[in-house]
Structure formats: structure tokens, C-alpha cells
Amino acid sequence: MLYLRHGKTTPDEIQMEVVFPDNATVTYRVPVIKVQQYTEDDIIGKQLYFLIPYAIMKYEHAGKEVLGKISAEYEAFYRGMLDARDEGLLNEYDMSNIIDFTNRLASYLFEENQEMKREVNAVMGGEVLETYADRMIAKGRLEGKLEGKVAILYELDFTIDKIAERLSLSVEQVKEILEKCKI
């Protein structure tokens, strides 16, 4: 069980009863995860990146006195995500979604407090990320340009060897491109 918000009466575990087709029942004790109790070290250390947007909720009713704490916490989240991205534990697509959702949630939670909203957006905005989609689009464009060059040279009666030499490709690569383009 995951609680995004909790209070003093929120239990540490709940009991769930499962009733089977033969009417036998089994009661399971399920631990309760209280997001607001997780620190940035817990979230980053345990690779629970999906909790990052919700961690801001513990400051929902706080005032400006926690701006420094929010800033430090979200800088740690951001650095942790960058490290995880560099280590291949988190891809750009997921990272950009976490940042976007964090900023959206901060905008909602701090609708009346522009300073708090700006602080989170400033920290989580960080560097402009090249997303997975951006990389795939760029890759597609490069491949398309290369295919176009091969096709044009082939239509101009260049031999496969000459095309390969001119475009710094192997003969096999040129053949693959021509086959792919059905030329």
C-alpha cells in the first residue's frame, strides 16, 4: 500500500483478506509505504525515482521558511537522477517525465505560492535534457539523409564501390541501404 499523504492515524501495515473460490480465506499483512517519510537518500539509494514527484507533498502546507530545504532536496534528486542516467539506471525519457510531473505537481500544490513553485521549477528544470524521442528523431533524420545520398548517387550511375568510398561506408552498408530503399 502506498500513501502519498499520511497522518498520525495512518497505520504502518494493513491487513488484506483474500477469499479463494472454495471460500477459504487468507489474511495478509501488507506494509504501508509512506512517501513523506522517505528522504532523498532513501529514494535515490533504493532507485525509487518514481517517488520523486510525490516527495514535494510533505511541503504542501509549509511556508517560505522551507525554501532552502526544498531547494537542497530537489538538487539532490536532480543530481541523483543525472548520476542514474549516466550509469544507465534511468533513461532520458523517464527522467524528463519525472521532472515534468514534479513541476506539474509543484504548480498544483503551490498554486498560491509562486515563490515555492519557482524554486522547484528552477531546480528541477536544470539542464535541458535530450529525450529518447529527440535522439530517435535525430537518428532517423541522419539515416534518412544517408539513404537519400546513397539513392541519389546510385541513380547517377555511381558504382556501389564508388558510393561506399565517397560516403565513407562499407560496400555491405551501401548494399543494405539500397536493399532497404528497394533500389
pLDDT tens for each residue of 122-164: 777 644 455 566 777 888 888 899 999 999 999 999 999 999 9
The mean pLDDT value of the chain amounts to: 87
Please work out, in degrees rounded to the nearest 5, the angle formed at the alpha carbon of residue 59 by the alpha carbons of 54 and 62: 165
| CA distance linking residue 100 with residue 36, whole number of Å | 20
Say if CB 2 and CB 24 are below 8 A apart: no
3-state class (DSSP) for residue 84: helix
The number of beta carbons lying within 10 Å of the beta carbon of residue 43 is 22
CA 155 vs. chain centroid, Å, equals 44
Chain centroid, CA 183 distance in Å: 40
Tell me how far CA of residue 79 lies from CA of 40, 83, 88, 128, 147, in angstroms: 11, 6, 14, 14, 39
Q: pLDDT at position 102, please?
A: 86
DSSP string, 87-107: TTSS-HHHHHHHHHHHHHHHH
Range of weakest confidence among 6-15, 52-61, 110-119, 151-160: 110-119
Confidence at residue 130, expressed as pLDDT on a 0 to 100 scale: 57
Q: Which residue has the higher pLDDT, 91 or 62?
A: 91
DSSP state of 49: G
